[in-house]
Amino acid sequence: MNFLQLLETLARSSAEAVSTLSKSSDEVEDLRSYLYVETEIESRFLDALKATGTAQSIIFICGSSGDGKSEILRRHHSVYKDDFLYHLDATHSFKPDQSAVEALNELFDRHQSSDKPLIVGINIGMLFNFQNSGDERHEEIKQAIGRFISGERSFDNYQFLSFEDYPKFSLDEGKVGSDFVSELLAKVTAADEKNPLYRAYLKDADKYHQLVYQNYRILQEPEVQALIVQTLLHARLKYDQFLSARALLDFIYNLIAGDSVLFDNLFLSPGDGLSNSLRSLDPCLLRSQRIDEFVVQRSLSVLDSEFDEFKSAFMEKYGNHEMPPNSWVRAFYVLIGVDVGNNYHKAFSGDFRCKLFEDYIHVWQLHQTLNDKKQLREFYDKTLIASLIKFANRLLTGLGNDGIYLAERNGVTITTKLRIAMDTKALESPVSSQIHSFNAAIKVGDESIKTFPVTISFLELAERIMSGYRPNRHDKNTIVILEEVIDEVAQVASRNGSLTFIKDTYEWSLLLEDDEFIVEAC
């Protein structure tokens, strides 16, 4: 197989995209074996196999389509096939007219009459389906699934290994990114004879002028790979973008073999899901004077000797390929860590800075470690709590940071004084390793409020509110959480025994003191 044919086996549409117990050609098997990245869930799976001792045991390896369940089971089938019953995919049936739930009923029947433990690869959705629709004779298994959904992982004769418990991305200090994605990109592009793709690439030297080979050369840059990992992380944070192993291989295929230069393939590939998320992160959507001037000047063919020098160095290094101004902006972004000629592109580094993502990662880390209460308190006081109060008081100006708008009745505005602070004690509860959000904890006076999730979209809205932004219907998904928090704050605040009433230029307070209401003019 030549380079392009071998590369095409990575595509989602390839016959080799789905793992089965059948073997592909030697070349494909060689590539599949070389590219395989062992993950933590696979290590836990092997531990579970070695620890399983009874025939009644069932190991479920759970996840979503394309995340690598079948590949993990396939890799170890030859070693354990005589000791375990294997079922690679719970969506597969034993008969043409059999539903997936009926197939699982039959599988569990076979297991009950067998003297071997059972291993099942299954989607989370299929687990829900079986819990709801599985036969009553398998009630014990249905109850076990319920315990898994409630958070248990290992009990009685059941072990559940879930891909959700082993995220591909990390925000831990010193480990921001994805070891899995980084290792896979490095394997695909390694200039090593052990790499089947690289061996095929070397044999096609007469085709290096073609775009697919130029894209492969660009992707070989470690700094480009790091930038791509960062961009995928941003898509994960901003859009909660799920990235399966199969989707990642397809993504790499499209980067190299897509219709355009790699920079455009990264941000302009057709399709939904990941492609749609990446289109929203296109650096051409950023507005800055430097970027706008570059695009306008290139469109008008204004002379720029420094850019021309950079362009010549770029083409000498990666191949002669003419690009429109927007493609050059994407090239500057992707190559920002690579030295090219006079490094003209590095002048744009400040324009490409993603401060929102930097802020979110920093605050997420503060919540995980709790090792800098001063910085954490500053975030709560100056951003989170301040934005909550500012949004709550948007209908009433001049109320200050120690008061909150409660309601308006018959033309009379009702407010109250309050003190909102970070709830240090609540933050000390066990934290989740999920990176899509962190749990914020505040208290009104001495009364704690239920913790609430802060996503990067929530943080973005909070920062924009502090800059004077007025949320609208486009922010409805984030505003729901914001309004729920404010409602709970207002409920607690309204019980503090002191209310202020405002009408026109008049103010008076109602104070409950020693079971007696006191009314005073302000």
Q: Can you give the three-state secondary structure of 203-241, one letter per residue?
A: HCHHHCCCHHHHHHHHHCCHHHHHHHHHHHHHHHHHHCC
342 falls within a domain: yes
Would 171 be classed as within a structural domain? no
State how many domains the chain has: 3
Chain position carrying tokens 């044999």: 203
Which domain covers residue 284, as residue numbers?
179-195+205-355
Helical packing angle, 325-334 and 222-239, nearest 10°: 100
Residue 248 covered by a domain: yes
Which of 355, 389, 409 is at the close of a domain? 355
Instruction: Tell me if residue 47 falls in helix, strand or coil.
Output: helix
Q: Based on the domain organization, do 160 and 191 belong to the same domain? A: no
How does pLDDT run across 89-132, given as a tens digit for each residue? 766 667 777 888 999 999 999 999 999 999 999 999 999 999 99
310 and 443 in a single domain? The answer is: no
The 10 Å Cβ neighbour count of residue 105 is 19
- Beta strands in 318-448, from DSSP E residues, in sequence order: 403-409, 412-417, 420-422, 437-440, 442-444, 447-448
Same domain, 344 and 392: no
Same domain, 330 and 402: no
Q: Report pLDDT digits (tens) over 257-301.
A: 999 999 999 999 987 789 999 999 999 999 999 999 999 999 999
393: CB partners within 8 A, 6+ apart: 399, 403, 404, 405
CATH code (residue 92): 3.40.50
Question: Does residue 351 share a domain with residue 361?
Answer: no
- Lay out the sheet containing 58-63: strands in order across: 85-87, 118-123, 58-63, 158-162, 154-155
Task: Classify residue 311: in a domain, yes or no.
Answer: yes
Identify the DSSP state of 447: E
Q: Both ends of the chain: CA-CA distance in Å?
A: 86
Same domain, 232 and 96: no
Q: How far is residue 89's CA from residue 381's CA, in Å, rounded to a whole number?
A: 50
Q: How large is the angle between the packed helices 139-149 and 124-133, nearest 10 degrees?
A: 140
Q: Does residue 446 form part of some domain? A: yes
Residues 459 and 335: their CA atoms lie apart, in Å, by 29
Looking at the structure, tell me whether residues 362 and 351 fall in a common domain: no
Q: What is the pLDDT of residue 67?
A: 83
In 10 A of CB 461, how many CB atoms?
21
pLDDT of the chain, 522 residues: tens digit per residue: 899 999 999 997 665 544 444 556 788 889 989 999 989 999 999 999 988 878 999 999 998 887 888 889 888 888 998 999 988 876 666 777 788 899 999 999 999 999 999 999 999 999 999 999 999 999 999 999 999 999 999 999 999 999 989 989 999 988 899 999 999 999 999 999 999 999 999 999 899 999 999 999 999 999 999 999 999 999 999 998 888 888 899 999 999 999 999 999 999 998 778 999 999 999 999 999 999 999 999 999 999 999 999 999 999 999 988 899 999 999 999 999 999 999 999 999 999 999 999 999 999 999 999 999 999 999 999 999 999 989 888 877 777 677 888 877 877 877 788 889 999 999 987 677 789 999 999 999 889 999 999 999 999 999 999 998 888 877 888 889 999 999 998 888 877 767 778 777 777 766 666 566 566 666
Q: How far apart are CA 250 and CA 275, in angstroms?
A: 11
Query: Is residue 118 a contact partner of residue 111, using CB atoms and an 8 Å limit?
Result: yes
418, 432: one domain: yes
160 and 184 both lie in a single domain: no
From 355, 389, 416, the end of a domain falls on: 355
Say which amino acid occupies 301: S
Q: What pLDDT is attached to residue 522? A: 63
Examine the domain organization and report whether 361 and 331 are in the same domain: no
Last residue of a domain, one of 300, 328, 355: 355
